[in-house]
Amino acid sequence: MRPLRDIFWVAIYELGEAVRTRLFQLAILAYLGGIGFSVWLFTEILSQAESSLAETLGVPATTRPGSMLPQLLQNGDLRSVLAPLVGGDDKAMALLSQPVLGLWVGVFSMALLPLVLVFTASGTVSAEVRSRSIRFLLVRTGRLEIAFGKLLGQLFLGATASVCGVALAWGMGLTLMSGNDPVALMTTLLLRTFWAALFALPFLGLALGASLLVGNPNGARVLASLTFFFMPIAAAVLKHWSGPDTAGRICDMLILAIPTRYWADFWSMNPGDLAFASARSVLLAIVFFAFGFARFQRRDL
């Protein structure tokens, strides 16, 4: 039980430091800012679309967007906006039985949550290695417990941001829009945020892995951020080089380790596909984390 207890206390230490240095608040505020912006943007787009539709139909425009949503869904405009974001027209069609705002916020959650976690997690261990304050922990618990405690602390930070994001989007959605069913909206927001969190797991593993690998917080942030932003490019390059020869097969294998390419899988309505995507996400997170930990375990601190 001692390792579990130690992981818990390292996580408490991690969260306490994050709160006291305002990193926790900053990360959550940044995430909430993004979610709030996404809801506002959605209502603006909806408002303009409804105004155009009202003008076409010769009816008065509504003051709160949302009352003409069923008509907009029927004419396919919203579906065409959503289709590239969820990986295809068929998926968009199937998903539109759910509140559109929930889906829209889900897209933003999947984009923002990895970004926030890369920012917060990439400096967590490396900063302590740099200042040598990690030595106060090393004399009290093992390196595995420290790494897992940091991971747990970051998971809690991500979960807190997610829950706050759901609450904000739900509140804004009900306030700024009309016609939203509170229960259906909440359910969709929770589900989409849950899938967004699972999608973000490999990025957390990547950032924490970088932090365990590099003893300099700036270096770890640069490594994690570059990897994060260049993943789509790397995926395109690897796909270009993939083929039946050895080098091509290696490219095919490397593509499997790029989490951004699994974005569309989390928009599937098939439970089997979602379970497979989740398992793959967890596996990738473990691989990235383990890669950094292998170095952290052996290095002089």
Q: Give the interface with other proteins as residue ranges (CB under 8 A).
A: 2, 6, 9-10, 12-13, 16-17, 20-21, 131-142, 145, 298, 300-301
Tokens 């989409």 belong to: 192
- Rounded CA separation 162/106 (Å): 11
Identity of the residue, 132 or 249, whose beta carbon is nearer to other proteins in the bound complex:
132
**CA pair distance 215, 286, nearest whole angstrom:** 20
CA distance 55 to 47: 12
HEC string of 214-227?
Answer: CCCHHHHHHHHHHH
* Residue with token string 């920012």: 119
Q: Closest separation between CB of residue 14 and other proteins, Å?
A: 10
Give residue 94's identity as a one-letter amino acid code: A
Least distance to other proteins from the beta carbon of 161, Å?
Answer: 20
Which of these, 28, 30, 40, lies nearest to 169 by C-alpha position? Answer: 40
Least Cα distance to 26 among 144, 120, 163 occurs for: 120
Nearer to other proteins, 106 or 123 (CB): 123
Closest to 201 (Cα-Cα) out of 248, 255, 162, 245: 162
Q: b/e map of 151-171 (b: 16 or more CB within 10 Å)? A: bbbbbbbbeebbeebbebbbe
Residue closer to other proteins by CB (options 174, 301) is 301
Give me the least distance between CB of 118 and other proteins, in Å please.
22
**Least spacing, CB of residue 3 vs other proteins, in Å:** 8
Residues 6+ apart with CB under 8 A from 116: 27, 30, 31, 158, 161
What's the maximum distance between 2 C-alpha atoms anywhere in the chain? 75
In angstroms, what is the minimal distance from the CB of 225 to other proteins? 24
The residue (of 135 and 239) whose beta carbon lies closer to other proteins is 135
Taking the least distance from each CB to other proteins, the nearer of 240 and 298 is 298
Report the Cα 201 to chain-centroid distance in Å.
Answer: 7
Q: Give the count of beta carbons closer than 10 Å to the beta carbon of residue 231.
A: 19
Shortest separation between residue 251's beta carbon and other proteins, angstroms: 36
Least separation, in Å, of the C-beta of 139 and other proteins?
5
Smaller CB distance to other proteins: residue 22 or 239? 22
**104 versus 148: smaller Cβ distance to other proteins:** 148
